[in-house]
Structure 1
Amino acid sequence: MIREIPYNENWMFTKNNEPAYAHERMKEGQFVSLPHTWNAEDGCSSDYYRGSCWYQNLLTVSPEDLTKQIYLEIGAAGNVGKIYVNGCLAEESRCGYAMFRANLTPYLKAGGNLISIMVDNTYDNEVLPLLADFTFYGGLYREVKLLMMEDLHFDVMDNGRDGVYFTQKKIGDRVFEWAVQGQVINELSPTTGNVRLLLRDHDGNVVSDSTSELEFEGVTPFELRGEIVDPILWHGVERPYLYTATITISAAGRIRDSRQIEIGFRTIEITTEQGLLLNGSPLKLNGVCRHQDFAGVGNAVTKSHMEQDIALIREVGANSIRLAHYQHDDYFYSLCDRHGLLVWAEIPFISVPSSKDPENQNAVEQLEKLVKQAFNHTSIYCWGVQNEITIAVETEYTHKTINKLVDLVNEWDPGRYTAQANINGVEDNSIINSYTDVVGYNLYYGWYYGDVQDLQKRFDSFHAANPDIPLILSEYGVDTNPKFHSYVPKVKDYTEEYQLMFHHNAIKAIHERPFVIGGYVWNMFDFGSANRKEGGETGRNLKGLVTFDRLTKKDAFYLYKAYWSKEPFVHLAGRRFVNRHQAQNDIMVLTNLQDVRVYVNNAFIARIQSDEAVKIVKNVLLSEGDNLVRVEGVDGRGSVCMDEMVLHRVYEPDESYIHVVEDQSKNVVNWFEKFDLSETEAVPLKDGYYSTFDTIEDLYSNEAAKAVFLKYFGHVTGNPFFEVTMNVMSIEKMAQLEFYKIVPELLIAMNKELNVIQKVEAETSDVQQ
């Protein structure tokens, strides 16, 4: 039988990258427990440490242990990991968010064995992600374990997790068919035996039983099938019922290996008329996105952290999660199974493809591990193959890679949907939108561009162009620092009040359109993003409904709870906007109760009876000094829900509530005004000469073309985004990004200067002619 042994303690760690540590004991270092990241403290700093670091442990093996097959399982190593056993390279991973294993057996000896693991989170153009709005933490940041197995066992080295793959589908009105397949590895001489599956319900009753007699020799594929009549269906958050499948290998009268898998029976259909149908019932996806990191520990989160996250997601009333932008810890997928949360799972094929590997083989590797390792999780309904991958460049290779990833998903797991998340700049009629079953758009109207109401217009224009393509709002949100407040919220003031307004508009836009399957709030929690400096904070993305430390629920959290949750509650918004310099104030109540009463200083002010989640008492007069505001609501059973806050009447605005923006007018906002852009008539572009359509890297290959670029864009060359994308980014692509603030006249002016500079290959061609 398999034994799983935790292997998380007494690891020696050092940032000193000494290759000799592959076979020599460390001369210096510190003891750490896993999970561990070396960026727990500096992960919110633009100069966070990225490099090669080493972990070491001593594994004592008895002669009896050497009769077993011993594997080391690494939960994840960010972003590259190499396992050495007594100086020999046993395994390597270039998928920084996936589990990987090493077969230690060939390298072990009786007694002490040196286990050395090199982990590296430096930039590598062939290891994804290359560029993203989150910190690339380094370390062995998930749990590690030893697997002690017999010579007859399930395949644990097929890039999967369980070595068995369970599927289910409805084949009749009351009947579901299940199937399980995989491979058995026999390390010794051929033998006969069987693979058996027992399916049990919550009470332990066997509801299905199937056995296959096999001859085990080398690698032996197997497949079992069965049926179950009238199963209790896994029905999301309302009823996340899971059966337990026990799959065993037996030979010579005893069990040699076994797996236990929690599995649910359910059907999912996605339509443009009714949205997503779960077991035939329409279900609007009330979703949130989640990054895996946590204040103080980075991405080295424990099961306790994950359980805390699930509790908050359940409290807000979400029924779905987009686990962005990479494979998450397997335990978190299990929590989603058990709590009924539908999951969009995805790989970090994000922002920028590899320029060194046009085939993007690393995307294929990460997709294979995601699909195979998370295959048995009932909660997953779709596999995401790309996120904003056209943000910097769009070439035939990008399209080929997306299609290749979709084809692979359909080969590995034809029972689930494929999905993608596009940047807003992807046109409604783009061919990219035909590649996946579901199309998501990350739309930030009212924050990075446009007005909040433009969201509704974009929904309608997309549906008009693609009436048969299911649409999901895959990201939307605004950065919010809960210490900032305003009576008149506006774009980029980072106030809780603007976040409320923004999200209220989005909730209505999604709800009013059946063809919008649902949406995913960006983000459930603030998260580490090392290169950010925004909203009064450094190194964090502040779009969360909850702060990075999970201690503060922003008012928008309760807005969603009012719309999504069935748990009765009342919440007074604006409780952190304590010092009020206006005498008359609107009191906003966020609640899922129909009947509420509002009191100020124990005096009854108003009763509101409505089904609206947002209830407002207008122009409430505050007295000088402290004012106690109380709201009471009565649920359907007569129980009273209550909330209180104190507002302080002052006579001058509290300046600490105002985000002070640095004056950028003299360098960035109108940087192009120093150039003569009066000649606005475009010229025909000649082949064989440089233009704004060439990549920055190509322009840099010619000194004259580089000089033209630096003349106009020298002020952005120190930007991390620019440095990572210059080998794939063109000036035309830069013009599509709000960050660079490029006007059309600038492109014309640059082309007039670039298109007279001949490319080297063109000159060579002329000579040959």
Structure 2
Amino acid sequence: MKKSIIGIVLFFLTSIPVLAQEQYSTRLNNGWEFFKGDLGGIWEAVRSGAEGAPESVPHWEKVTLPHCFNAEDAVDPDKNYYQGAGWYRTTLAMEPRYQQGRILLHFEGAAQKTDVYIYTTKVGSHVGGYDEWTVDITDAVAEFKKKEAFRKPFNGKIPLVIRCDNSRDLQMIPSDLSDFNLYGGIIRYLNLVYIPSVSINKLHVSSQVNDKGSATLKVKTDFYNPSRLPNADLEIQVVDPSGKIVQQYKAPVDFKDSVYEWTSSLKKPTLWSPSQPSLYKIKMKLISASGIHVREENIGIRTFVFEDHGPFTLNGKRLLLRGTHRHEDHAGTGGAMTESMIRKEMIIMKQMGVNFIRLGHYQQSRIVLNLCDSLGIFVWEEIPWCRGGLGNDIYKGQARRMLRNMIEQHYNHPSVIIWGLGNENDWPGDFEEFDKEKIRTFMKELNTLAHTLDSSRKTAIRRCDFCKDIVDVYSPSIWAGWYRGRYTEYKDVSKKEFEAVNHFLHVEWGGDSHAGRHAEEAEAVVKKINTGLGADERKGDASLHGGSARVSKDGDWSETYICDLIDWHLKEQETMPWLTGTAYWPFKDFSTPVRPENPVPYVNQKGVVERDFTPKSSYYVFQSYWSEKPMVYIYSHTWPVRWGEAGEQKLVKVYSNCEEAELFVNGKSYGVKKRNSQDFPAAGLRWKVPFSEGNNTLRVVARRGKTIVEDQITQRYQTEKWTNPAKLVVEKIEDDNDIATVQAKLVDENNIPCLDANQWIHFSLTGDGKLFDNLGTSSGSRKVQAYNGRAIIRLKANSGKNIICVQSPGLQTVFLDLTDKKKATP
């Protein structure tokens, strides 16, 4: 058994510090202007940005940071998203905190190529949309203060201009063939930072636990010292999870030495784990003639092992990695998620029961990693070498640089256990040449670099069989029940792939579901699917046209089916003692340029929550297996109308992690069921009950010991048969605080709702209001496929007059005057 002891290490790449925590750091969120498009040059931005400037063209709009200039068009159903330049400008009132100190701009992420100017002087450039970087603007600011423009027209402020560019470029990673948008803009926080003339640059803290349970800490640091001060004093403290100082050290520093090292030990440290994410703190203070510089880093102490041909162990005990994936993407903001949004997302992920996450497919915000540390979520983080093939030396140089930056900037985090080197590198397309041996050679180089920078963590890739022997951990393509095969083949296919490598970890499984779409017979398509042919994803499988029968193309994309698929996978994982773990793809729906024909155009709909955090039914399936807190959920709160024959016994499924549950329909008990995870579906918590025509109230009472949890829904039961959709019925179903909700229903010629209709529905608005559109959700897109014969959209009326127009192919257009409370008809 080969063991891997995880330490906590933080490196920073350049001679300018990428800052983890500073005494004087301010987020530059407000006071920005933005122009979408390119300019003739930097003078055009500066000239029109000066106070009192006569030129007002081109038009600049006021924005706040973070900002993504694809916040809406990434999911616009009618056009491709914008790829090109975008300019930002502001003016800074400088308040230096140190005499002879330095002034830095610290970018937490700007996409995809970025140039930075102080007035007309370019002070820095960066290629890559996901790693952190810093620009020292001290000298440029000093030079600008000598100019007449500093006094007038800029009135003592410093003009800052930033150009971002996400234009298509074959010699950049990730490839534009990737199944996600390559956003543009200052998509993460930008910080103005003041530091002394000598400051802490790299901070590297590693830990090793011995057989007796004690830990050795090794601290390495170097310094940013452009003023070449000769010496300073250094203070180090180690603070335990309770806040107690357990080690401290003081010593002079001679800057002739390139690296300063200090070693200490901890007896019986508290170990980090998902159930107890205990964090120690390293406090470092550098005291020099130019001032005091302080850095603090959280670290965690633990050991992990990927057993050879076996499971994953943490701190000596087996742990099943229960995972998902994350893209940095959200409704209305694109890639520019705020800290509060990120925090909310990670908390609801943890509440689902996740203890592992793969960050797809690029280095993500430090906020995400900090939350994984504090919440107890293991991380696989990877560079964006994703699809397309292998480019030239510029391309490879960017991949090396981003791998180095990712490891050095995030090595501090105890949550990280895997560095990903690539994704779907067997996917050609960007270049005429697709040479597997050249890809293997470069993959070996990256693997060596990763281990050189960090020998304590594993390397991994997903879906590139001809490179699977290079990395430590491999994830093949297994999409049982979606792109190939049936989900009942999942265990057998996984075991075969497990036996083919030393360390197997299954990331990416699941399938799409259109939120709000449900089915009485979701499994009918499975009969068409061949078995025994594998469960991998192949060329063209994501297409909705052509090829062999597969659920991804021929299924109904209902929440009903995907809940069964997930249910089966989770119950099987409980009987696979050799399994390291899995990660469902993904946690949240996200935008993609390669899926314009999906029910919500340009959205990958495999998430268990929608793009605005609205949970789908599948979220609660995961909770029923993974969550510790008692829960119960009747399938499904988003299924308002069921259908069938009069007197027919209908299946009611309940998802719960409780020991038993009792179902009541219209006040009558239908008995108590005991939970058994191997009793598929719904772990035995299912009933066949008669529904009455009209409304039916379903209530469930679940018990775990003395704890009782309940859930209740009302569903209407329709026994009337319908024919083909013949017309649209449009009505305003809610009006709250100037926000109106409009529903369009497909009915037949007798006005009977067509509950299995999935036609396209298109909303448009004339008037004073604004649709909540381009959100990439089932109720936030003006073009959307119907879910059970209906679709809804919301709008802000702005206290004015509004007329909504609804269209569906082959049907007469309908107009609804929203000041009229009646239903609209053609």
Shorter-chain TM band: 0.7 to 0.9
| Residue 609 of structure 1: aligned partner | 674
In structure 2, distance between residues paired with 1:85 and 1:93: 15
Q: Which stretch shifts more, 134-143 or 653-662?
A: 653-662
Q: Residue 168 of structure 2 is aligned with which of 104, 118, 123?
A: 123
Deviation at 1:189, TM superposition (A): 4.6
| Residue 24 of structure 1: aligned partner | 46
Residues 419-498 of structure 1 mapped to structure 2, 5 A cutoff: 419-422=460-463, 426=465, 430=466, 432-466=467-501, 469-489=502-522, 490=525, 491=551, 492-498=555-561
Output the amino acid matched with 2:285. T
Q: Residue 206 of structure 1 is aligned with which of 234, 237, 245?
A: 245
Question: Is 2:56 the counterpart of 1:36?
Answer: no
Q: Is the 8 A contact 1:196 1:247 kept in 2?
A: yes
| Residue 138 of structure 1: aligned partner | 184
Deviation at 1:505, TM superposition (A): 2.4
SS at match of 1:351: strand
Q: Residue 81 of structure 2 is aligned with which of 32, 48, 51?
A: 48
Q: Is the 8 A contact 2:283 2:296 kept in 1?
A: yes
Deviation at 1:97, TM superposition (A): 0.8
In structure 1, distance between residues paired with 2:181 and 2:756: 28
SS at match of 1:224: strand
| Residue 717 of structure 2: aligned partner | 649
Residues 84-99 of structure 1 mapped to structure 2, 5 A cutoff: 84-99=117-132
| Residue 182 of structure 1: aligned partner | 221
Residues 114, 192 of structure 1: alpha-carbon distance in 2 compared, 3 angstrom cutoff:
same
In structure 2, distance between residues paired with 1:61 and 1:555: 51
Output the amino acid matched with 1:223. E
Question: Is 2:671 the counterpart of 1:633?
Answer: no
In structure 2, distance between residues paired with 1:639 and 1:514: 30
Superposed CA offset, 1:515-566 (max 9, x none): 3211111111011113313442101010000111112x22211111111011
In structure 2, distance between residues paired with 1:134 and 1:189: 45
| Residue 230 of structure 1: aligned partner | 268
Question: Is 2:650 the counterpart of 1:585?
Answer: yes
Deviation at 1:509, TM superposition (A): 3.8
Q: Is the 8 A contact 1:4 1:145 kept in 2?
A: yes
In structure 2, distance between residues paired with 1:150 and 1:100: 19
In structure 2, distance between residues paired with 1:574 and 1:80: 45
| Residue 822 of structure 2: aligned partner | none
Question: Is 2:275 the counterpart of 1:246?
Answer: no
In structure 1, distance between residues paired with 2:181 and 2:129: 13
SS at match of 2:47: coil
Deviation at 1:171, TM superposition (A): 2.7
Percent identity, please. 25
Query: Which sections of structure 2, spanning at least 5 residues, go unmatched?
Result: 1-21, 49-55, 146-155, 429-433, 526-550, 723-752, 762-826
In structure 2, distance between residues paired with 1:249 and 1:70: 17
Q: Is the 8 A contact 2:114 2:163 kept in 1?
A: yes
Deviation at 1:435, TM superposition (A): 1.0
Q: Is the 8 A contact 1:484 1:658 kept in 2?
A: no
SS at match of 1:180: strand
| Residue 94 of structure 2: aligned partner | 61
| Residue 743 of structure 1: aligned partner | none
In structure 2, distance between residues paired with 1:579 and 1:339: 39
Superposed CA offset, 1:120-176 (max 9, x none): 011111221112111111110111111111111122xxxxxxx21221111341211
Q: Residue 582 of structure 2 is aligned with which of 512, 519, 530?
A: 519
Residues 150, 502 of structure 1: alpha-carbon distance in 2 compared, 3 angstrom cutoff:
same
Q: Is the 8 A contact 1:54 1:116 kept in 2?
A: yes
Question: Is 2:450 the counterpart of 1:409?
Answer: yes
Q: Which has the higher contact order (CA 8 A, sep 6+)?
A: 2
| Residue 419 of structure 2: aligned partner | 383
Deviation at 1:350, TM superposition (A): 0.7
Superposed CA offset, 1:435-486 (max 9, x none): 11111123222222222233323212223333xx111111011110122221
In structure 2, distance between residues paired with 1:171 and 1:63: 47
In structure 1, distance between residues paired with 2:394 and 2:406: 21
Question: Is 2:114 the counterpart of 1:81?
Answer: yes
Which of the pair is proportionally richer in helix? 1
| Residue 167 of structure 1: aligned partner | 206
In structure 1, distance between residues paired with 2:158 and 2:436: 49
Q: Is the 8 A contact 1:273 1:514 kept in 2?
A: no
Deviation at 1:290, TM superposition (A): 0.8
Residues 621, 97 of structure 1: alpha-carbon distance in 2 compared, 3 angstrom cutoff:
same
In structure 1, distance between residues paired with 2:584 and 2:630: 22
SS at match of 1:325: coil
In structure 2, distance between residues paired with 1:64 and 1:537: 51
Deviation at 1:368, TM superposition (A): 1.1
Query: Which sections of structure 1, spanning at least 5 residues, go unmatched?
Result: 156-162, 663-769
| Residue 782 of structure 2: aligned partner | none
Output the amino acid matched with 2:232. G
> Taking structure 1 as the reference length, what is the TM-score of the superposition?
0.80
Output the amino acid matched with 1:78. A
Output the amino acid matched with 2:46. E
In structure 2, distance between residues paired with 1:420 and 1:572: 38
| Residue 595 of structure 1: aligned partner | 660
Q: Is the 8 A contact 1:210 1:226 kept in 2?
A: no
Q: Is the 8 A contact 1:484 1:494 kept in 2?
A: yes
In structure 1, distance between residues paired with 2:600 and 2:255: 60
In structure 1, distance between residues paired with 2:387 and 2:696: 49
Residues 585-734 of structure 1 mapped to structure 2, 5 A cutoff: 585-612=650-677, 614-636=683-705, 638-651=706-719, 652=721, 655-659=754-758
SS at match of 1:532: coil
Output the amino acid matched with 2:224. I
Q: Is the 8 A contact 1:44 1:135 kept in 2?
A: no
Superposed CA offset, 1:708-750 (max 9, x none): xxxxxxxxxxxxxxxxxxxxxxxxxxxxxxxxxxxxxxxxxxx
In structure 1, distance between residues paired with 2:426 and 2:593: 22
Q: Is the 8 A contact 2:238 2:247 kept in 1?
A: yes
Residues 515, 351 of structure 1: alpha-carbon distance in 2 compared, 3 angstrom cutoff:
farther
SS at match of 1:538: coil
Deviation at 1:64, TM superposition (A): 7.5
Output the amino acid matched with 2:380. W
In structure 2, distance between residues paired with 1:658 and 1:356: 50
Output the amino acid matched with 2:635. A
Q: Residue 340 of structure 1 is aligned with which of 376, 380, 388?
A: 376
Residues 499-538 of structure 1 mapped to structure 2, 5 A cutoff: 499-538=562-601
| Residue 288 of structure 1: aligned partner | 324
Aligned length: 642
Q: Is the 8 A contact 2:215 2:266 kept in 1?
A: yes
In structure 1, distance between residues paired with 2:707 and 2:499: 47
Question: Is 2:466 the counterpart of 1:397?
Answer: no
In structure 2, distance between residues paired with 1:230 and 1:399: 43
Q: Is the 8 A contact 1:470 1:516 kept in 2?
A: no
Deviation at 1:575, TM superposition (A): 3.2
Output the amino acid matched with 1:141. I
Q: Is the 8 A contact 2:172 2:395 kept in 1?
A: no
> Taking structure 2 as the reference length, what is the TM-score of the superposition?
0.75
Q: Is the 8 A contact 1:350 1:387 kept in 2?
A: yes
